[in-house]
Amino acid sequence: MSSRTMVILNEVIPAWRADGFKSKFENDEIKLLYSQYFFKQKLDMVVKFIIVLGLNALLFFIFYFAHSKKFLELLILVIVVFFICIVMFIELINTRSYSTKHLTLMSIAIWTVQCIMLYALIFFIPADQRTPSDHVALVVFITFVTYTMLPLSLIYTVALGLLLALSHALVTGLCAKQDTEHFSRQLIANILVYICSNLCGLYHHHLSEIAHRRTFLETRGYVKNQLELSQQKDQQESLLKSVLPEYIAKEMLADILENNNQREHAMNLQFRNIYIRKHDNVSILFADIVGFTKMASGCTAQELVKILNTLFGRFDDLAKKNKCMRIKILGDCYYCVCGVPDPDPNHAISSVLMAFDMITCIKEVRDNTRVEVNMRVGINSGPVLCGVLGLRKWQFDVWSDNVTIANHMESGGLSGRVHISAATKNCLPVDVQCEPGNGMERDKYIKEKQITSFLVLNPESSATQFEVLEKYRRVIAESQGANGEEEEEEESLNGVPVLAGLEGGHTNGVDQIGGGYFAAKKNNSKDDLSRNGNSVTDDEMTVHQYVGKWESVTPFAPANAANCNNDKNAKNVILKVGLFPMHASIAGRKGRNQVMNHQRDLDQEVNECMRKQVEDGRSQRHNETTEKIHRLSLRFKSSLTETDFQHLPDNMFKYYLACAFMVFLFIGAIQLCILPYRLITVIAFTSALVILSICVVVAMATPRFCECLRQFSAIITESNKIRVVLAILTTVIVYVVAFIQIISCKCTEGEDNSCNGVRTRDPTAQQCDFPMYFYISGMLAMLCSAVFLKFDHIIKDVLMVLAMVSYIVIMHVTHADIFDAHDEFLVTSVNKTLEEEKVNMLLLKEYGTVYLLMLGLALISLGFEVERTARVDFQQRRQAAEKKDQMEDFKTNNGILLRNLLPGHVAEHFMGCGKIGLYHEDHYNVGVMFASIPNFFAEFYAENDVNNNGIECMRVLNEIIADFDELLEKPKFNCIEKIKTIGATYMVAAGLTPKVVYDGSETDVDTYLCTLCEFAFAMQDCIKRINKHSFNNFQLRMGINHGSLVAGVIGATKPQYDIWGNTVNVASRMESTGKIGKIQITEDSSHKLDRYGFRFDDPHFVQVKGKGNMKARFLIDRVAS
């Protein structure tokens, strides 16, 4: 059973207990909303009932008009009742804005009209002809329809039902002038009729209440699912778009949805597709923070992640402002492009402006912290390939020889300068001033390729250059639709260059996240840059303290969140765009409260949607569902849906049988009390009692009963055909029993062989003194058919019509003399004859006919509405289940997406409740490995027509990376986490998962290093297989190290999980200084592996930047099995 079904049952089924009549809604707002929903759902029933009431008045008028010469009083009554019905009908049709109180008062008014009609009919009877049983049948009708067709709460219906029974018993008892000697028998029979009609009404009302609650909960759940589904879609798109351009994100998302049914094989089936495109006119920018190691020294893990996230977050904003797109963060290197995914004719100048903005930003940090940091920027332009490689840890990347050149432009550049290639220089406007870059003197690759380079003249050193750059900045701003105020902010302050609005941000002290840049907050005069660019700051201020003053956006938070502050839906921004709550250690109670507020906002939005649907009377969903059902037969237009509906199990069927059995017992008791009985009737009742008792016992069998009966009960619950047979059998038996005694009734014959209406007190006599209890019993039998709520209304209606026709034929044809005898007794008792009086009175059999028709019309209307509601409810539950399945699919896909963006434990961290902030963690004794394919780009990769300008080469690299990713799926490598790919370099780390306690013990790191080495050998085997099948000669060059590092997630617009520290740097140097086909490992790490059977060659020295000469060894062979 689904969790959703369990929720509904938890809300509904307790209503069968003693406290079941109390509201089960914990939320008062939902309780009030349900009350409004309940009353609105009853409106159709009220309209139909008003029509039935009007028809009833018309029936009385017709019969009275046909038989009575004194109909003035009745005519007045009928006109009044009919007028009231028309007024209420028009009011209900034309008015939708009803309050619960309004509808309750209207329902009580309708009940009052019926009671007035009842007592008017009683007082229309001549005083000397009134009996204790006058119009008891009308009491049955009023009582049952009050419970079932009026929008009244249970307490009102019970009160009105009891009030009607007591008042009728009191009025008829005080006014009765005839049959007083049989008063006690009639009173007991009347009480039984009252109880039976009230119990049937109470039962029907209670089951309908359960159905309405379930429908309400399902409808509300459907609305909530719709909202959540929409949010899940937004979330899924946001997840992909946070790391991928929209066009690739859509393509990958379409593949994910297409393979939803094969989710368990999704990683093998769908991601072998290649998501790579070529872009021709692109500028590539690499920017490295010179002095980053010194800047980050002394920082804790939290402080380092905070610095990187805030700093690179500011760079992300600058990139957005300059129409650039960040590709990756490589340690302390920022890597972005311009002209992707949309072509940009200004890609070169935009990249140059981006470069100067970054230099200005770092200058601000340097001036305010006295830490010697700077930016070294390199730019190249040309065609590139963009896309995603592999199956895990998707990161958008660009590849081409031009990317390599841009990288060397950075490494061969100068601090604080923008180093560009001749290709970029040719793409710049002619008025941008440059000077020779002499990159060949500083970088071997540039020298080998004979690439001419230039340094763009800094705007601070030339007013002309400043004016030129500002001119093109305005051009770019205008192309982005920037308004005049933003342009004004970007103008210089008193002739001092203010690039990217950074210093401008200081002047107003506002953090303009949504506006395209961050600005440090004002903090007295110390935080303000002076007009000449110098700073007045505390010499002791650290980088962390200064950067901490910048407000930043945490990962997975949209850069434009601030712009949503004025939007009416701003409260749902985090939920709708797919943000994941984060670190409890940072936010604590604030984060949990935020999540609770979001959930509360969602509930309020759901309630608001439900309220609108209630006010509209019919929801669009309800109307759409109704269109799928035939108007008269109520069959679903879809045969499949109809079959599913017919095969639904019915756990309530045993209660239907129990209620029908109760009605049968009441009919028997009434007839036993008031009507004569003979052997044939005793046999009939006894047989019916046995049959129905067996049916009820079998249907209601529980595990306490014998296993055989319990199995039969389960079969009845599951089989619709068996239920239909039992329902028909039970209904027919009760119909027959209700009138079977009349067959044995005879009246006392007079001299003219006609009934003389003489009474007898002998209950064993064949004379029937009170024939009105026959059609009263028939009406109770009709109620029996109504209690089968999930029973085809056509079958019920056919059985009911046949029963009514049979009753009417018996009353008017076969046994009319019995009913005439009763009328004759009443008139002869006042010395009149029936022939004289019947033109002035409505005969008993005609009363019976009217009451049977009245109840029949009401029950047919009720049965139609009940089945229609059941079918609409079923269809809506199907739709809700489908939406919920879709939502679950989206949730699953979101989990897959998030786990392909972040490590599993980090993804769980971000998806946890009550967590908000930055993710960061110190790790000890972690193994890190870099594995590159040096000859891929050097020898294999080529951009020509043969290989589709390099795309087919990248397809091969995609297969290689995907095979490496598949290795990580093996259980023995579950402690290894892929960090990222950098070109043809594959980076992994072992020991980042939280499964092992990081206590610094050698056992942990030994296990990680052993597993990492095994993975290195597996990669070598994998590349050999690829070479064998592709006839290539790819070789791996790998480097391994272990030690401490910091892990975290940084970046506002493109969150990225990464690791930092000397351990990572040394591992990278082990790879870059190693040999092709070899695995180079630091000597410290090799010592930990000696004991496990790994073989190494002799130590050798390698030059490591920042470390000098380090001892390293090559791993020769794997551990023996």
Instruction: State how far Cα 566 lies from the chain centre.
Output: 26
pLDDT digits (tens, 9 = 90+) for 214-230: 777 777 777 777 777 77
Instruction: DSSP for 15-36, please give it.
Output: GGSTTTTS---SSHHHHHHHHH
DSSP assignment of 761-820 equals: --TTSS--S-THHHHHHHHHHHHHHHT-TTS-HHHHHHHHHHHHHHHHHIIIIITHHHHH
Can you tell me the distance from the alpha carbon of 284 to that of 347, in angstroms, rounded to the nearest whole number?
A: 9
pLDDT band at 131, cuts 50/70/90? confident
pLDDT over 70 at 162, yes or no = yes
The three-class DSSP label of residue 915 is coil
b/e sequence 825-854, b meaning 16+ C-beta within 10 Å: bbbeeeebebeebbeebbbbbbbbbbbbbb
Q: Torsions phi, psi of 933, nearest 5? A: -115, 85
The yes-or-no verdict on residue 262 having pLDDT over 70 is no
**Residue 705: what pLDDT?**
62
Residues 882-926 pLDDT 10s: 777 777 777 777 667 766 777 777 766 665 543 445 677 888 889
Express each pLDDT in 629-686 by its tens digit: 777 777 888 788 888 888 888 888 888 888 999 999 999 888 888 776 677 778 888 8
Render pLDDT for 851-877 as a digit per residue (tens, 0 to 9).
898 899 889 888 888 888 788 778 777
Q: What pLDDT score was predicted for residue 330?
A: 80
Task: Judge contact between 699 and 715, C-beta under 8 A.
Answer: no
Q: For residue 139, give the nearest of 61, 84, 195 by alpha carbon.
A: 195
Which of 171, 176, 177, 169 is CA-nearest to residue 193? 169
User: Six-digit token pair at 312?
Assistant: 């690179």
* Confidence check: pLDDT of 322 > 80: yes
Alpha-carbon distance of 805 to 814, in angstroms, equals 12
Residue pair 991/1004 in contact (Cβ under 8 Å)? The answer is yes
DSSP string, 234-262: HHHHHHHHTTS-HHHHHHHHHHHHHTGGG
pLDDT digits (tens, 9 = 90+) for 529-555: 333 333 434 445 666 666 665 655 555
Burial of 99 (0-12, 13-18, 19+ CB in 10 A): exposed
**What torsion do the CA atoms of 993, 996, 1001, 1003 make, to the nearest 10 degrees?**
-100
Q: Are 111 and 147 in contact (CB under 8 A)?
A: no
Residue 678 three-state SS? coil
The answer to whether 521 and 551 are in contact (CB under 8 A) is yes
Contact 446, 408 (CB under 8 A): yes
Q: Which residues on neighbouring strands pair with residue 985, listed in sequence order?
A: 932, 982
Considering the chain, what is the average pLDDT of its residues?
75
> And the tokens for 960?
């290689």
Name the pLDDT band for 61 (thresholds 50, 70, 90): low
538-570: string of b/e by CB count within 10 Å (b at 16+)? eeebbbbebbbebbbbbbbbbbbbbebeeeeee
Classify 843 as helix, strand or coil.
coil
Nearest-angstrom CA–CA distance, 349 and 934 = 33
The residue type of 937 is F
pLDDT at 263 over 50: no
Beta carbons of 1056 and 329 less than 8 angstroms apart = yes
What proportion of the chain, given as a percentage, has pLDDT over 70? Answer: 69
Residue 631's φ and ψ, nearest 5 degrees, are -65, -40
pLDDT of amino acid 292: 77
Going by C-alpha positions, the residue among 980, 1063, 1105 that lies closest to residue 330 is 980
Count of Cβ atoms closer than 10 Å to residue 76 Cβ: 11
The phi, psi pair for 242, rounded to 5°, reads -70, -20
Contact 775, 848 (CB under 8 A): yes
Amino acid 417: pLDDT: 93
Rounded CA separation 713/711 (Å): 5
Q: Which residues contact 954 (CB under 8 A, 6 or more apart)?
A: 274, 276, 385, 387, 389, 399, 941
User: What pLDDT is stored for residue 497 in this prediction?
Assistant: 32
What pLDDT, on the 0 to 100 scale, is given for residue 580? Answer: 34
Q: Which residues are identified as catalytic? A: 1069, 1105
Give residue 248's pLDDT band: very low, low, confident or very high (50, 70, 90).
confident
CA distances in angstroms from 47 to 43, 59, 60, 865, 1114, listed in the order given: 6, 18, 20, 12, 90
What's the pLDDT tens digit per position in 338-390?
A: 998 889 999 999 999 999 999 998 888 887 777 788 899 999 999 999 888 88
pLDDT score at 1041: 93
Query: Nearest Cα to 786, choosing from 865, 716, 691?
Result: 865
The whole-number pLDDT of residue 1074 equals 92
Instruction: Output the pLDDT for position 499.
Output: 31
At 512, is the pLDDT very low, low, confident or very high (cuts 50, 70, 90)? Answer: very low
Residue 965 vs residue 94, higher pLDDT: 965
pLDDT of residue 412: 93
pTM: 0.60
